[in-house]
């Protein structure tokens, strides 16, 4: 079920981030307008603003989250159909509507992500966090590949409008596992009520959000309680620094290869191979996470990530070439798959009961903002200094991040906030 839901998120994201820019340029759209597409992904950054309302429910929280998922995914499919119609004309004057539709798709997908993450955290035991995040990362990456590279390949056979309609249909089909899950939940609830009509189902408790606070006060109170947790201080430092070195280094990899006279075809082939290796890393991470535990995973996978990004320094100096570059890039993607699963699983472990969607989302937003800022600055650093200086900085930032991870692991044992979620391996 979760594999289908995360795959469903990746499909439109890959379509918008990778396939659509190429298609729009082929239609004669200006580069400035294509660049503007990045701003249409802002709902993914600001989704923490409405995440508390997704968690808010007066009834069964599990069923409420499922309803959010269904409504958002169906809305995405309908909007894709509208986008197919809107793109049937390529005049610049008519491009405002497609932009608005893309913004809506991003909003629907981001909200579906809140509800899916919330459902995943609430249904997963501590021992299953690694596997659920392995499914999350792998499913999303596969969806991105199919929605991006897959759609571009199909353009030789199908029209752009036909592909959009096909993706809309796939999004509906991908709801079937969730539908079966909801049926099972409904039957289990009915049986529980039959056995004891006086007892309320465990999931039927009224959410703590049922007061009539105004929206701003409600959002503030939700996150104030989250950030007030006594075990959160050091973790937040780990959260915002863990992926900075990777964001700094990976952003400038392809421009660096272009400057080293790699052809676009060779870079595309390298991207495909490394993406597949990254999927292997994400899948393996779930198994390893279960065996060695949350804290060991955070440390060892973080070390691999630091070493793999640091190895790009040797690419920048020109001391490695050809197939060795391919191996180093694949190693970085493999490490990225491992470390991403470890980070996301730790984020889930710090979510409060009945606040899973809001807590996970605000952590994800913090991580995305900091990694995005440093990723955006990587080009300026490389341009004003050099690629070599950039990757030296990556090594320094990676070492600092690992020092914070070790401090977090050492300090986590002093907190007994929720022994079911916070315990040393």
- Residues with Cβ within 8 Å of 9's Cβ and at least 6 positions away in sequence, in order, are 109, 112, 113, 116, 139, 140, 143
Name which residue leads in pLDDT, 404 or 256: 404
pLDDT digits (tens, 9 = 90+) for 64-94: 889 999 999 999 999 999 998 887 765 545 6
Q: For the residues 245-269, what does the mean pLDDT come to?
A: 81
Name which residue leads in pLDDT, 215 or 202: 215
Helices (H) and strands (E) in the chain, counts: 21, 0
Q: How many CB atoms lie within 10 A of CB 38?
A: 11
The second-level CATH assignment, the architecture, of 2-188 is Up-down Bundle (1.20)
Long-range Cβ pairs for the range 185-190 (8 Å, 24+): 185/60, 185/62, 185/63, 185/66, 186/63, 189/60
Give the pLDDT of residue 190: 60
Give dist(CA 141, CA 282) in Å, integer. Answer: 9
- 64 token code pair: 């409420």
Give the pLDDT of residue 221: 86
Distance of CA 18 to the CA centre of its chain: 16
Residue 293 has pLDDT above 60, yes or no: yes
Give the pLDDT of residue 256: 85
Distance of CA 368 to the CA centre of its chain: 9
Worst-scoring range by mean pLDDT, 43-47, 205-209, 241-245, 333-337?
A: 205-209
pLDDT digits (tens, 9 = 90+) for 28-57: 777 667 767 777 888 888 888 898 888 876
Q: Is the fold of 2-188 the same as that of 218-412?
A: yes
Asked if 7 and 143 count as a contact pair (C-beta separation under 8 A), the reply is: yes
- 421 token code pair: 């979620």
The overall average pLDDT reported for the chain is 82
The second-level CATH assignment, the architecture, of 218-412 is Up-down Bundle (1.20)
What is the 8-class DSSP label of residue 146? I
Give the pLDDT of residue 205: 41
Asked if 299 and 406 count as a contact pair (C-beta separation under 8 A), the reply is: yes
pLDDT grade, residue 241 (50/70/90)? very high
- 189 token code pair: 């609830």
What is the 8-class DSSP label of residue 214? -
Query: Nearest CA to 326 among 285, 279, 268, 281?
Result: 268
Domain boundaries, the chain: 2-188, 218-412
Kindly tell me the sign of the dihedral angle through the C-alpha atoms of 292, 293, 297, 300: negative
Residue 61 has pLDDT above 50, yes or no: yes
Query: In percent, how much of the chain has pLDDT > 70?
Result: 84
Counting every residue, how long is the chain? 425
Name which residue leads in pLDDT, 192 or 306: 306
- 157 token code pair: 């056979």
Give the pLDDT of residue 117: 86
- 169 token code pair: 């249909």
Worst-scoring range by mean pLDDT, 4-13, 176-185, 212-221, 370-379?
A: 212-221
Give the pLDDT of residue 3: 87
| Degrees, nearest 5: CA angle 260-271-381 | 50
pLDDT digits (tens, 9 = 90+) for 355-379: 888 898 899 888 888 887 887 788 8
Give dist(CA 322, CA 128) in Å, integer. Answer: 40
**For residue 340, how many C-alpha atoms fall within 13 Å in the half-sphere facing its CB?**
26
**For residue 130, how many C-alpha atoms fall within 13 Å in the half-sphere facing its CB?**
22
Asked if 292 and 300 count as a contact pair (C-beta separation under 8 A), the reply is: yes
Query: Nearest CA to 16 among 137, 89, 108, 136?
Result: 108
- 142 token code pair: 């596969």
């Amino acid at each position: 079920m979760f594999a289908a839901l995360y795959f469903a998120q990746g499909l439109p994201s890959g379509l918008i981030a990778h396939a659509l820019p190429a298609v729009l340029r082929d239609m004669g759209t200006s580069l400035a307008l294509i660049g503007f597409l990045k701003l249409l992904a802002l709902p993914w950054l600001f989704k923490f603003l409405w995440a508390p309302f997704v968690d808010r429910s007066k009834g069964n929280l599990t069923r409420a989250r499922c309803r959010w998922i269904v409504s958002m995914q169906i809305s995405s499919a309908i909007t894709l159909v509208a986008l197919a119609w809107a793109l049937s004309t390529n005049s610049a004057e008519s491009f405002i509507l497609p932009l608005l539709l893309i913004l809506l798709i991003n909003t629907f997908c981001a909200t579906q992500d809140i509800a899916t993450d919330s459902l995943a955290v609430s249904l997963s035991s501590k021992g299953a966090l690694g596997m659920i995040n392995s499914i999350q990362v792998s499913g999303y990456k596969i969806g991105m590949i199919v929605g991006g590279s897959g759609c571009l390949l199909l353009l030789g056979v199908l029209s752009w409008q036909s592909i959009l309609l096909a993706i809309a249909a796939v999004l509906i089909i991908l709801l079937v596992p969730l539908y079966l899950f909801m049926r099972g939940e409904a039957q289990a609830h009915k049986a529980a009520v039959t056995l004891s009509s006086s007892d309320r189902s465990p999931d039927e408790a009224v959410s703590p959000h049922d007061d009539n606070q105004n929206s701003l006060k409600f959002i503030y109170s939700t996150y104030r309680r989250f950030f007030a947790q006594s075990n959160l201080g050091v973790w937040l430092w780990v959260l915002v620094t863990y992926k900075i070195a990777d964001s700094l280094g990976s952003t400038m990899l392809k421009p660096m290869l272009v400057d080293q006279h790699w052809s676009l075809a060779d870079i595309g082939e390298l991207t495909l191979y490394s993406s597949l290796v990254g999927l292997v890393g994400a899948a393996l991470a779930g198994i390893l996470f279960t065996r060695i535990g949350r804290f060991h995973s955070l440390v060892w996978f973080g070390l691999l990530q630091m070493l793999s990004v640091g190895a790009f320094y040797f690419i920048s100096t020109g001391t490695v070439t050809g197939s060795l570059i391919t191996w180093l890039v694949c190693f970085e993607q493999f490490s990225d798959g491992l470390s991403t699963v470890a980070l996301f699983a730790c984020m889930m472990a710090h979510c409060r009961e009945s606040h899973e969607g809001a807590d996970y989302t605000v952590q994800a937003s913090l991580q995305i903002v900091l990694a995005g800022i440093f990723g955006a600055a990587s080009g300026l650093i490389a341009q004003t200094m050099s690629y070599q200086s950039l990757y030296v900085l990556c090594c320094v930032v990676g070492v600092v991040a690992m020092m914070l991870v070790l401090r977090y692991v050492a300090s986590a044992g002093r907190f007994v906030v929720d022994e079911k979620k916070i315990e040393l391996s």
